[in-house]
Amino acid sequence: MKPAILIRSVTANDLRTIFEIENQSFGNEAFNKRQFKYLAKSPTSHFVVAEIENQIGGYLILTTRRNSKLLRIYSLATNPNFRGMGIGEKLMNYTKDFAAKQLFDTISLEVKESNSAAITLYQKMGFVSTGKKMDYYGQGQHALVMQLACKV
Ligand SMILES: CC(C)(COP(=O)(O)OP(=O)(O)OC[C@H]1O[C@@H](n2cnc3c(N)ncnc32)[C@H](O)[C@@H]1OP(=O)(O)O)[C@@H](O)C(=O)NCCC(=O)NCCS
């Protein structure tokens, strides 16, 4: 039987593990601790973790702007020890449900064009590429913009 995945709001106690996952996932492009602390408190972000077997299996940060119907996936990563177990998909389905409940009309994200695991996940969830941001992650490291129109 697959282990259960529970999504809940982030707490201050989670930040150390989240920071470890962030570093394992993004290396020198990782957010720093201060940024996570800010995002955990910011009224314009929605920060959740996925728990699996009583450990943090991943996290998701959504951001919003006042008077905007666009919900942005600001950060998403899963614990390398628990990849391929459906956590990324669960967090994406959570995002879709959140967007529908809060009446957003579009979910948008940037992803490095070389990040085939993430792009495959987003395509599986119905996202399509709508543009490209040149040098977004540094010289020669372009981002794809991917979006999903929400059902109303
Ligand atoms: C991308 C990432 C979030 C996927 O998380 P995950 O928990 O392993 O994903 P899931 O187990 O839910 O997989 C769901 C789908 O994603 C795709 N996928 C996941 N890992 C993949 C891989 N290594 N290669 C290709 N497709 C992959 C598949 O379509 C998979 O569906 P399937 O199992 O039916 O084939 C994870 O690899 C990660 O954290 N990477 C580093 C951080 C990152 O790149 N974040 C996104 C930044 S934009």
What pLDDT sits at residue 152?
A: 64
**What is the CATH number for 58?**
3.40.630.30
Pocket test for ligand 1, best of 74, 89, 122 (most atoms within 8 A of CB): 89
Structural domain for 37, as ranges: 5-107
Q: Please indicate, yes or no, if residue 132 is contained in any of the structural domains.
A: no
CA–centroid distance, residue 121 to ligand 1 (Å)? 5
Per-residue pLDDT of 113-140, as tens digits, reads 999 999 999 999 999 999 999 999 999 9
Q: Please indicate, yes or no, if residue 92 is contained in any of the structural domains.
A: yes
Residue 5, ligand 1, Cβ within 6 A: no
Q: Please indicate, yes or no, if residue 59 is contained in any of the structural domains.
A: yes
CA–centroid distance, residue 67 to ligand 1 (Å)? 32
Per-residue pLDDT of 37-94, as tens digits, reads 999 999 999 999 999 999 999 999 999 999 999 999 999 999 999 999 999 999 999 9
Q: Please, where are the H alpha helices in the chain?
A: 15-26, 33-41, 87-101, 116-124
Pocket test for ligand 1, best of 72, 78, 90, 121 (most atoms within 8 A of CB): 121
Total count of domains within the chain: 1
Which letter, b or e, does each residue of 120-150 get, where b requires 16 or more Cβ atoms within 10 Å of its Cβ? ebbeebebeeeeeeeeebeeeeebbbbbbeb
Record the tokens describing residue 29, joined without a space: 């492009």
Q: Kindly give the number of the ligand 1 atom that is closest to the alpha carbon of 123.
A: 29
Q: Please indicate, yes or no, if residue 11 is contained in any of the structural domains.
A: yes
The number of C-alpha atoms within 13 Å of 121 and in the hemisphere containing its C-beta is: 20
User: C-alpha angle 9/83/86, rounded to 5°?
Assistant: 65
